[in-house]
Copies of this chain bind each other. A is one copy, B any other.
Amino acid sequence: MGGCDDCAGSEGTAAMSKATAAELSGEERLIARYFRPLAKHPGAFGLIDDAAAIVPPAGCDLVLKTDGLIGGVHFFPDDPADAVAKKALRVNLSDLAAKGARPVGFLLALALPEEIGPAWLEPFARGLGEDAEFFEFPLLGGDTDRTPGPITISIAALGAVFHGKMIRRSGAKPGDRVVVTGTIGDAALGLLLRRDPTTAERWDLNRGHQDYLKARYLIPQPRNAIVEALRTYATAAMDVSDGLVGDLAKLCRASGVAAEINVESVPLSDAARAACAREPALVETILTGGDDYEVIATLPADAVETFRQAAALAHVAVTEIGTVVAAGEGSARFLDRKRQMLSFTRPSFSHF
């Protein structure tokens, strides 16, 4: 600390502005450059306050979720930064969708290794902004740190549902049907393709199928478009992020029911079907691999067709895959065409 310094205060506005700009810390400049343009919600205060403030939507409960991505764990270090940003948002949007909640906004906690600079931050902020706009899911605030570890992105997501109307995991009832959106297993196969390029040859996949599966791993498609249909008809729901088998078991345990799933009914993409035709054992990867970000839901048998039609209007395919049955502690049974139960070596993705 030096002594007297009169450089500021008497040189007029231009000089003061310059001095002010120079005073901004690197962190403030980074936020101003990349993230302030995204903070359009009035309660984000342009990211220049300690916190955001939002008026909760009238008559609604807030639905809260946090989910994160870690470089080398949830995405490849060389994945395009805009895709990483979208995946980070969408894994959280997927939870909001499954809970019947509309997006309200998110907080972003970003830990960045030393080598991350504008070449990564610019596309990351662009991707984040595109999805924030598309899903009407504004950035409300954040935190940015350096880390000696990999890129670590934590999103805290806020959604809103009418009071008491969040779709729980625990509402499935015997007799309900089990449905799932989209197709299952694509991302798990895409991940295998990314990890081992010889896989594509072994599966004899054409370029289009390879690209499709990889894209499904890279950027999930959350099902927020059917949130109202889910809220109207589903008795229970969750998003499939750790594999269909393990996640359905969680839903069954929470509901105190069992489910019987016809494995042949589980919807597969053409690409997954092509891979499976060459390597039938892939059905385990498909059913237990993670990163689907589809919604699994239960609903009364007489609501399935109406629900399917409502989802179709939003261009989301819905497939009935099984039935909820009464059973002690709750479990999910995956039955083959002979109604024999399949067992899995690793029913669910888990970090621990």
Contact = CB atoms under 8 A, between A and B. Distances in A.
A14 to B, nearest CB: 10
Contacts of A141: 64-66
A350 B25 contact: yes
A45 to B, nearest CB: 7
Nearest to A140: B64
Q: How many protomers of this protein does the assembly include?
A: 2
Interface in A294-352: 327-331, 333, 336, 340-345, 347-352
A107 B156 contact: yes
Given A25-B352, A109-B109, A20 B53 contact: no
A143 B1 contact: no
Contacts of A345: 1
A89 B29 CA distance: 26
A197 interface: no
A352 to B, nearest CB: 3
Contacts of A253: 20, 23, 48
Interface in A53-73: 53-56, 60-68, 70, 72-73
Secondary structure dominating the interface of A: mixed
Interface of A: 1-9, 13, 16-17, 19-20, 23, 25-30, 43, 45, 48-56, 60-68, 70, 72-74, 95-96, 98-99, 101, 107-109, 111, 140-150, 152, 154, 156, 158-159, 161, 163, 166, 168-170, 238-239, 242, 246, 249-250, 253-254, 258, 281, 283-284, 287, 327-331, 333, 336, 340-345, 347-352
19 contacts: A1-B281, A1-B343, A7-B343, A8-B333, A9-B258, A19-B329, A20-B329, A23-B331, A26-B351, A29-B352, A45-B168, A48-B254, A50-B99, A51-B159, A52-B64, A66-B154, A66-B156, A147-B150, A154-B156
